[in-house]
Amino acid sequence: MQVILRQLGDCNIRRAEPSDLIPVMEINLKTLPEHYSDYFYESLLAEIPEAFIVAEISGKHVGYIMCKTEYGFSNFKKLGFVKKGHVVSIAVLDEYRKKGIGKALVEESVNGVKLKKCDEFYLEVRCSNNDAVRLYEKLGFVIRQKLNAYYRDGEDAYLMAIELN
């Protein structure tokens, strides 16, 4: 059963299902240099469907966000061991950007990782990716670390994180 989380004009924001994975992979191939195996997409959907979300406009997939959960050291508290949500990847097709779809995807994934009782939510983003960094900052994420040469091409990442609840 499709779970529609939110409607933005003609755009449905809803939880992904197995049949959404191929269109999600296609958006990923068009928009980002980091790609993943089919199995990895399937495993994220199986692990945390609450935070694997797609944006669809009259049957066309235009965006997605997918996440996982981890246990690890807090990005905020000294010596704290916490449950963390991790945004693995988010993208919106170029021609559908700047309409609020990215913001809706992140907000709904925050709700999803809260349902999984995560204490914090984090992600890595290219330091040069101003659009994405600004989006995350507007939603309350803060830069907690710079990860040197994090990407295969040598670019640095910012680790950005938010405390939940």
Which one among 6, 61, 83, 99 touches ligand ACO, defined by CB under 6 A? 99
- Alpha-carbon gap, residue 69 to 46, rounded angstroms: 12
Q: What are the tokens at 9?
A: 């004009």
Nearer to ligand ACO, 61 or 103 (CB): 103
Please spell the DSSP secondary structure of 91-127, one letter per residue.
EE-GGG-SSSHHHHHHHHHHHHHHHTT-SEEEEEEET
By CB under 5 A, the count of residues binding Zn ion is 1
Residues 113-142 that bind ligand ACO (CB under 6 A): 123, 125, 129, 131-132, 134-135
Applying CB under 6 A, which part among 41-49, 69-77, 92-100, 139-147 lies near ligand ACO? 92-100
Is 156 one of the binding residues for Zn ion (CB under 5 A)? no
Nearer to ligand ACO, 78 or 152 (CB): 152
Please name the helix (run of DSSP H) or strand (run of DSSP E) that holds residue 138, with its range, or none.
Answer: helix 130-138
